């Protein structure tokens, strides 16, 4: 009986259809709720309101980025592209990327994986998808709050290295 269950589980996993695609407006609820959950757990900076999070993602999808207010009250346009990973047409995670001001790098801006799909290579698939889109010698960076040790460890397993640390964050890089 155990062997039959193992074989059935194997085949269920084999036939799961993984797709990575660009985010669309109908993904806004997943993006917003995922961001808020991540912020509550210390992984993202909490925005002013749920509406501001939704507007950030909506602008990124429609306009390729969003406006943020800097400390001096001026506005800055932040380019952002969002990828969604689905399994059998069910959204299980996303990765947002942005050109970085650090040495012409690509920043892995936000990454979220639904709790039920963690430890199933979703984060690695999203990061590898992004890396594969760029030419050799491209530098990728990720700024991770110290609370994000699981993500930091997964990035290290993917050959990202820490190049700077602060009391709140670790800065990782990978050069393709």
**CATH assignment at residue 56:** 3.40.630.30
When divided into structural domains, the chain yields a total of 1
CA dist list (Å): 14 to 18, 37, 88, 93, 125: 10, 30, 12, 19, 16
104 compared with 129, residue with greater pLDDT = 129
- pLDDT digit string, tens, across residues 76-93: 888 999 999 999 999 999
Total-model pTM: 0.86
Q: Which tokens is 81 given?
A: 């592209």
Q: Identify the pLDDT of residue 45.
A: 85
Residue 8 placed within a domain: no
Structural domain contains residue 7: no
- Tell me, yes or no, whether 42 lies in a domain: yes
Which pair of tokens denotes residue 114? Answer: 């639904």
Q: Kindly tell me the burial class for residue 144, based on how many C-beta atoms sit within 10 Å of its own C-beta (0-12, 13-18, 19 or more).
A: buried
Alpha carbons 176 and 171: distance in angstroms, whole number: 17
pLDDT digits (tens, 9 = 90+) for 47-106: 878 999 999 999 999 999 988 777 777 888 889 999 999 999 999 999 999 998 776 899
Phi, psi of 29 (to 5 degrees): -65, -45
Flag whether 4 is in a domain. no
Q: What range does the domain containing 142 cover?
A: 16-175
């Amino acid at each position: 009986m155990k062997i039959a269950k193992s074989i059935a589980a194997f085949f269920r996993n084999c036939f799961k259809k993984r797709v990575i695609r660009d985010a669309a407006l109908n993904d806004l609820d997943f993006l917003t709720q995922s961001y808020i959950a991540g912020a509550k757990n210390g992984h993202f900076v909490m925005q002013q309101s749920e509406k501001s999070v939704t507007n950030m993602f909506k602008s990124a999808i429609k306009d390729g980025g969003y406006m943020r207010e800097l400390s001096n009250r001026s506005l800055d346009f932040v380019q952002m592209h969002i990828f969604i990973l689905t399994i059998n047409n069910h959204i299980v995670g996303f990765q947002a990327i942005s050109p970085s001001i650090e040495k012409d790098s690509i920043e892995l801006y936000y990454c979220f994986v639904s709790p039920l799909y963690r430890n199933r290579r979703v984060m690695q698939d999203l990061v590898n998808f992004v890396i594969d889109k760029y030419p050799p010698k491209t530098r990728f960076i990720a700024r991770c709050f110290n609370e994000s040790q699981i993500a930091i460890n997964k990035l290290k397993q993917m050959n990202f290295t820490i190049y700077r640390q602060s009391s709140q964050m670790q800065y990782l890089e990978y050069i393709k």
